[in-house]
């Protein structure tokens, strides 16, 4: 802490112990406070900060009397409800703050459950049990004291949780207090249950080879890429690896990209390890439940932690393995605040703990493949589906340039769906657009339903009779006539999930159709209902967005129809092709996973495009090699390292002016380090929520050179005057360009 951050004491110097404290504020330093007793790193404290009292975390303790020429404030209180945060989590936070160039205090509080960010102590459930001592077992509790005798008998049979005690005997608190004073009972931690494994299946040759290679790995800190086609049994490999880790008394961290994958995975893990305590950590978990799961993992009670990206910060004192499923998925990248990538932090954490990390995917990201090529990662391949009767689906490309379509569906697609309905086989119609239609248009003047706050179109939601922006949340009624020319002949253009659901209901009236998108899965129980209906055979056709594209295993699904895939080919994002191939591979891979052969019908105007040809041939390796070669020729990641400085303001001119000033200030440093500066340029979506956005890109073939310039930027920029109406943010290794 520098002298400028301390207040002068007119009465002279002070002598005391002091600590450095991290606070959840957008400032880059920690803050010094006096304390009347030594405090450990990671201890939560209550401190004054300006007019507020805030929760802070001790980052360093100066455990010797120190003379200050300035007065500094004192720690108001110490939260002793939990032990200090563990060093491994604090080290991970420190690395993340440094790598992503984000204020340390905000990084630390991002990593904590909401309850631990609040300036108050937390109340945790009592996980200990009541247990009879030897004196208690020898005690004479007369049967005539019915309540006491019932409680004594129950304790003689087994240890009791507080909930179980209350169920046995009302008013048991006074009885147990008396027995505790006599030495008849004691509090004890719950004994860890023995490992029980059910439902394991034999591994095929490729799975066995991967399993044994990972267990026998000589360099556990070197990541493994488990590259398996859809349905190849990657999860079974995970489960059998986890069994060995649990048997060794260690914990496992499993990261998944989407919330909706978590319940299905937990159900499968619970079936395999019925006695093993698990913790689920994702945004649908209530704050209190999340805190309890987080603390259970920290205290070693939860042996398996399954969660989305934020779970990478979960404390695990006996960490034995990390698994990142669908490692290519963009959901692992946080897009605001601390813009971290959970997969990359998981790799760092596993390396630091010297434990194996397995990155699983059918379509690994190009950065991961580049690491394999460079020898930093090791690759294991599962080229065949695990089910002996299953094979990869037959992918057919339907040229729609001259085909007749009804509501976006060709006759061939409708006939194929009708045939599956007749056979009572499950079909999936995939379109990555929710709502009824992506836009409303006027047939006279060409007016389109644009969002007044964003550079985006308002989507028709017909059931609600609303136009909605899927970016900022703006909502308005569907107009009866064109707002510009008054023409009443306005029409929805294009298809969304709602429109497809309605069209299929008309074309196939006997079909049982279930739509799955963000609008239909808002309830916490929605996915449980979906799985129940599908597995009970109550659904003929699923209509859905990318929520259905990954991780779900529907054995009866034999047909996948893909609509509107061409749209991504027009994107200005250089990653669009990579993402589209991964997305289509995942959704196509839902078909034919059991004993029914699978078929995929993909409607396209570009049947000769290399992406679609590679998809039809199931040739990911060739397409990925072509993309990697393109990236190297063009100097795009992974051939270089990037960072983006983004600015948004009420006008694009303000954002550009700010970034121009930054570029001019950075230019000498960047030139000396060999870092290129590109821009400023408007963002792909210029206007969002009434603010206009621009970006400055920094890139270099050397990571160290890029971070050297970013260190200079984050030292210099916070001290510069910035208009109150302007916001800026830094994104290291950006995924959205």
Provide the token pair at 519.
Answer: 């609008």
Provide the token pair at 229.
Answer: 């086609």
How far apart are alpha carbons 688 and 685 in whole angstroms? 7
- Residue 440 CA from chain centroid, whole number: 34
On the CB side of 219, how many CA atoms lie within 13 Å of its CA? 9
Is there a contact between 105 and 338 (Cβ–Cβ < 8 Å)? no
How far apart are alpha carbons 557 and 479 in whole angstroms? 40
Is there a contact between 463 and 452 (Cβ–Cβ < 8 Å)? no
- DSSP letter (8 states) at residue 299: T
- Answer whether residue 11 shows pLDDT above 60: no
Model confidence band, residue 220 (pLDDT cutoffs 50, 70, 90):
low
- pLDDT tens by residue, 614-639: 999 999 999 999 999 999 998 999 99
- pLDDT tens by residue, 76-97: 999 988 899 999 999 999 999 9
Provide the token pair at 530.
Answer: 């979906």
Predicted local distance difference test score (pLDDT) of residue 123: 85
- pLDDT tens by residue, 260-304: 666 778 888 999 999 999 999 988 788 888 999 999 999 999 999
Phi, psi of 499 (to 5 degrees): -65, -40
- Residue 100 CA from chain centroid, whole number: 17
- pLDDT tens by residue, 326-353: 999 999 999 999 999 999 999 999 999 9
Phi, psi of 295 (to 5 degrees): -70, -35
Closest to 273 in 3D by CA, of 192, 197, 181:
197
How far apart are alpha carbons 273 and 267 in whole angstroms? 10
- Residue 386 CA from chain centroid, whole number: 27
List all residues 6 or more positions away from 245 whose beta carbon is below 8 Å from its beta carbon.
251, 252, 320, 321
Closest to 226 in 3D by CA, of 379, 372, 332:
379
Predicted local distance difference test score (pLDDT) of residue 187: 86
Query: Residue 432: helix, strand or coil by DSSP?
Result: coil
Provide the token pair at 275.
Answer: 């006695």
Residue position matching structure tokens 């191939």: 581
Predicted local distance difference test score (pLDDT) of residue 724: 87
The total of other beta-carbon atoms located within 10 Å of residue 78's CB is: 16
Alpha helices in 13-144 (DSSP H): 87-99, 104-111, 114-117, 134-138
Provide the token pair at 580.
Answer: 């589209």
The total of other beta-carbon atoms located within 10 Å of residue 300's CB is: 17
Query: Residue 557: helix, strand or coil by DSSP?
Result: strand
- pLDDT tens by residue, 545-577: 877 766 566 667 889 999 988 888 887 888 989
How far apart are alpha carbons 689 and 708 in whole angstroms? 34
Rounded to 10°, the helix 576-588/620-634 angle is 170
Q: Is the peptide bond before 638 cis (omega within 30 degrees of 0)?
A: yes
């Amino acid at each position: 802490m520098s002298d400028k951050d301390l207040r002068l004491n007119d009465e002279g110097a002070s002598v005391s112990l002091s600590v450095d404290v991290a606070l959840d504020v957008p400032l880059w330093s920690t803050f010094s406070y006096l304390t009347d007793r030594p405090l450990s790193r990671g201890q939560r404290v209550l401190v004054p900060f300006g007019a507020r009292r805030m929760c802070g975390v001790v980052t360093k303790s100066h455990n010797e009397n120190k003379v200050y020429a300035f007065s500094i404030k004192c720690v108001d209180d110490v939260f002793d409800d939990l032990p200090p945060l563990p060093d491994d989590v604090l080290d991970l936070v420190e690395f993340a703050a440094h790598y992503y160039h984000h204020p340390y205090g905000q990084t630390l509080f991002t990593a904590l459950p909401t309850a631990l960010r609040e300036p108050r102590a937390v109340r945790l459930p009592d996980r200990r049990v009541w247990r009879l001592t030897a004196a208690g077992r020898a005690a004479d509790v007369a049967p005539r004291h019915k309540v006491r005798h019932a409680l004594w008998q129950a304790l003689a049979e087994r240890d009791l949780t507080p909930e179980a005690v209350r169920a046995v005997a009302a008013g048991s608190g006074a009885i147990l207090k008396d027995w505790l004073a006599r030495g008849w009972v004691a509090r004890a931690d719950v004994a860890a249950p023995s490992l029980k494994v059910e439902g394991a299946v034999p591994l095929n040759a490729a799975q066995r080879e991967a399993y044994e290679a990972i267990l026998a790995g000589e360099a556990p800190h070197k990541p493994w890429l488990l590259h398996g086609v859809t349905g190849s049994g990657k999860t079974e490999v995970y489960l059998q690896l986890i069994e060995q880790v649990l048997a060794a008394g260690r914990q496992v961290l499993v990261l998944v990209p989407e919330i909706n994958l978590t319940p299905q995975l937990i159900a499968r893990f619970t079936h395999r390890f019925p006695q093993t305590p698990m913790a689920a950590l994702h945004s649908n978990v209530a704050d209190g439940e999340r805190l309890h799961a987080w603390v259970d993992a920290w205290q070693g009670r939860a042996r398996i932690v399954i969660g989305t990206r934020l779970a990478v910060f979960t404390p695990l004192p006996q960490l034995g393995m990390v698994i990142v499923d669908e490692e290519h998925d963009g959901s692992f990248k946080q897009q605001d605040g601390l813009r971290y990538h959970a997969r990359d932090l998981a790799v760092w954490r596993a390396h630091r703990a010297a434990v194996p990390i397995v990155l699983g995917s059918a379509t690994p990201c190009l950065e991961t493949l580049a690491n394999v090529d460079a020898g930093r990662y090791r690759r294991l391949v599962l080229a065949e589906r695990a089910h002996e009767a299953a094979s990869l689906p037959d992918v057919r490309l339907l040229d729609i340039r001259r085909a007749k379509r009804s509501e976006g569906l060709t006759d061939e697609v409708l006939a194929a769906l009708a045939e599956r309905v007749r056979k009572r086989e499950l079909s999936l119609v995939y379109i990555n657009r929710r709502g009824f239609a992506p836009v409303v248009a006027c047939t006279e003047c060409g007016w389109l339903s644009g969002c007044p706050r964003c550079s985006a179109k308002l989507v028709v939601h017909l059931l609600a009779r609303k136009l909605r922006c899927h970016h900022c949340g703006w909502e308005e009624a569907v107009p009866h006539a064109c707002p510009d020319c008054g023409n009443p002949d306005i029409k929805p253009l294009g298809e969304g999930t709602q429109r497809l659901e309605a069209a299929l209901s008309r074309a196939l009236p006997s079909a049982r159709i279930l739509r799955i998108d963000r609008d239909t899965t808002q309830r916490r129980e929605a996915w449980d209902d979906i799985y129940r209906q599908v597995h009970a055979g109550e659904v003929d056709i699923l209509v859905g967005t990318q929520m259905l594209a990954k991780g779900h295993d529907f054995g009866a699904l034999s047909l996948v129809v893909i609509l509107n895939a061409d749209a991504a080919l027009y994107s200005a994002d250089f990653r669009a092709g990579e993402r589209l191939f991964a997305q289509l591979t995942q959704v196509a891979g839902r078909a034919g996973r059991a004993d029914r052969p699978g078929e995929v019908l993909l409607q396209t105007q570009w049947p000769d495009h290399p992406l679609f040809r590679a998809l039809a041939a199931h040739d990911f390796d060739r397409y990925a090699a072509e993309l990697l070669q393109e990236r190297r020729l063009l100097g795009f990641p992974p051939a270089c390292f990037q960072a983006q400085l983004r600015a948004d303001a009420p006008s694009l001119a303000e954002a550009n002016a700010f970034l121009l000033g930054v570029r001019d200030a950075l230019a000498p440093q960047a030139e000396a380090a060999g870092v290129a500066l590109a821009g400023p340029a408007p963002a792909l979506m210029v206007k969002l929520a009434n603010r206009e956005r621009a970006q400055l890109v920094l890139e270099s073939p050397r990571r160290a050179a890029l971070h050297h310039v970013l260190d200079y930027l984050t030292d210099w920029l916070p001290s510069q005057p910035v208009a109150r109406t302007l916001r800026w943010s830094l994104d290291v290794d950006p995924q959205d360009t």
